[in-house]
């Protein structure tokens, strides 16, 4: 996959947002303007971590494959081989969903 050739630096996390819902459960199509901003994503790649003042590396709090909650705004859009990904700092992520 394309993101295997991209390695985030420091405490950056590369995520792929979930596809927005275009239909309600009842089958009604949702117009693009009415669709909510997608704030959930899958972690695709992580950096090694932030370097502290004393030289030690603080590891990133998520790993590849985790489902995370994103802030509504922010992140840097990255296009790799016609796919859109977003870069966030580890501290900008709002939370991680526990897999059941």
* pTM of this structure: 0.75
Q: What is the CATH number of domain 12-95?
A: 2.30.33.40
- Confidence (pLDDT) at 24: 64
pLDDT (tens digit per residue) in 35-83: 566 678 889 888 888 888 888 888 888 888 899 988 888 888 888 888 8
Q: Is the pLDDT of residue 2 over 70?
A: no
H/E stretch holding 39 reads none
User: Which one, of 61, 76, 70, 60, lies nearest residue 94 by Cα?
Assistant: 70
List, in order, residues 6 or more apart from 98 with CB less than 8 Å away. none
Interatomic CA distance for residues 58 and 76, integer angstroms: 22
């Amino acid at each position: 996959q394309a993101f295997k050739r991209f390695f985030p630096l420091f405490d950056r996390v590369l995520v792929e947002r979930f596809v927005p819902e275009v239909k309600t459960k009842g089958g009604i199509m949702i117009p693009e303007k009415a669709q909510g901003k997608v704030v959930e994503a899958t972690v695709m790649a992580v950096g090694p971590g932030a370097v502290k003042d004393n030289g030690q590396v603080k590891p990133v709090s998520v790993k590849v494959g985790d489902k995370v909650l994103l802030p509504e705004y922010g992140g840097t859009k990255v296009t790799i081989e016609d796919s859109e990904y977003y870069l966030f700092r580890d501290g900008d992520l709002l939370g991680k969903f526990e897999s059941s």
